[in-house]
A and B are shown apart, each in its own frame.
Chain A
Amino acid sequence: MGIVRKWVQALVFLLTNGYWNFPVTKTIYQGPLKVVCSPGLNCYSCPAATTYCPLGALQQLLAGVRIAIESGQFFVGFYVIGTMGAIGSFAGRMVCGWACPFGLLQELLFKIPSPKFDVWRPLRYIKYALLVLMVVLLPLFAVDKYGLGVPWFCEFLCPAGTLEAGFPMLLIQPGLRANLGLIFLNKLFFLILFLVWAILASRPFCRTSCPLGAFYALFSRIKLLKLRLDPIKCTNCAACHDVCPMGVRFNESPDDMECISCFACSKVCTFNAISLEVGGVAITNQPTPCSDRLKTNPAS
């Protein structure tokens, strides 16, 4: 499953960043595919991006909602929230594990040999605060005299935007370098922070600061595709604790909001206690020699 996941991650990365003509055109992709939602965090100002970033689009719509309504257009984010919600209800944070380019980057960085550290668990709540404050409330209510807000998360924090859009745009349009200022330095700081942290700890941005992951996490109990624990087979050996890239203790909390359904726990579970379920029905519960032995002789 690990190999399949890597291929899916690579495929999604290529599909959502498939415009490789940008060094010639010197600008971003401007075709009709940009009306399609990228499931993961993928800045739409990236020259290669072929889809829109749900977080960026939502902030832009909320930031301009007053002006849109005044001009008779009721653009309040139904399309974007509807798309995000449908993806969340279908797969939840499985998107983070299978379809997020920035998640893939963090996984690759974590493979660099270095001392490894865990992420302090209470930091996970920061992303929910960022979702509410920087993605919804501040773009909606912190407006200028014309009633126009700004996309706070994109402008002041998003490291994916700095990496995927900021640097490539500075390379292909050198004239933009004259506009660099404190905001870019601030974003550069967060980018370096998360890249270095990703070498030392597994998926630190996903675990602490990704508002999109926070949104998808809200569907952890009701998503269609999810990992399921079989309490009959589980022996609480805790083998799943050590391999989880998100620090989930799957045998203790199978509906954990941090679970990205990467199947790392399923792979190491010798008792075959973890399976994929679709709408409540297990579909990958293959018997193992070990589980067969348990069935025939439960005492062993």
Chain B
Amino acid sequence: MNIEFSKIKSPFHPEHEHMSDLAMRIQRKVGIEAQELFEKPELKEPVLPRNPVQLSVEFGNSYVAESPEDTYIESEAIEQTAETEIVEQEAASSELEESKALEEATIDPSLANALESELQSIHEKEESAIFNQNSQQNEVLIESPNNLPLQTPEEVKSPEEIESEKIRSAEVERKRAEAAARYAALLDESRADYVPVAASNTEPEKEGLPWASILGVVASLAAIATAWWVWSLIQAPMSVEQMAESSRQIPVTQVVEPVPVAAATDNSVSFDNLPAEAQIIADVMEEGEVGVGSKQTPKLSHFTQMDEQSKVSMVELENKGLLIMELEDEIFEDQWL
């Protein structure tokens, strides 16, 4: 093991708190005002366990509810209702006065009176009709606690109010759109967290030469060149003349110097010098040699003594080059052809 190449750290890692404490002690020992000298190391955010991607989208998701704008709108509404409840309980009379004053200030009094009387008459008619119906059926009318309050006549709003209402509704719409966009962004982000491979490629396309196509062209050219080279290596079939020509050319691979061949010793046995007792074998051997090696060339004398069938056979053998007969041409021609 080489400790110089792979450096090993010291096992003693001073902790921040320990160093800070020690610095304080030193400063006090020295007699100076003790101050905090070491900044606290930044705490890393704990890694939260990742939940699986929610593929189905539900309305009223917590993402939307948590958005500050939406919370603001809702809380405002709640505040308003709470205020009105308190006012109703504690100071109903003052509210009536205020509303009257407001009505007077905003609504045309004659028009409002007309509408009010009309509505009241309709209400009375409806009540009497219900009462009659119930009395016919001998039923006791119990008013439902959930009865909705009667609709108040539409207030005639001033153009300023209409304008402000429009602005408010536009603001609400804008906030809703913002919240929806934020929700969509959060959803995308969470998906991107879990599916990193599917993350969109944000790198801009590089301008310049199309290297991929250039490489493709180069590769195809190289392939063609390789194919041509292989084809050129394959030899065309040789003609008979070329074969004959090539067979004549004997490649000289090695120059062999002429070596003087020693005179072959005559190993043949001279039968004349053999002793008398070995002469028998010599005679036998001589006969064999004669019998095996001598050409039996039929002579005219032989031919004339042959029967007819043998003569035909001899002629056929000679015609096929298997036998040479030493015959006078004249005789052969005259007698047999």
Q: Do A and B bind each other?
A: no
A residues apposed to B, CB below 8 Å: none
What residues make up the interface of B, taking CB atoms closer than 8 Å to A? none
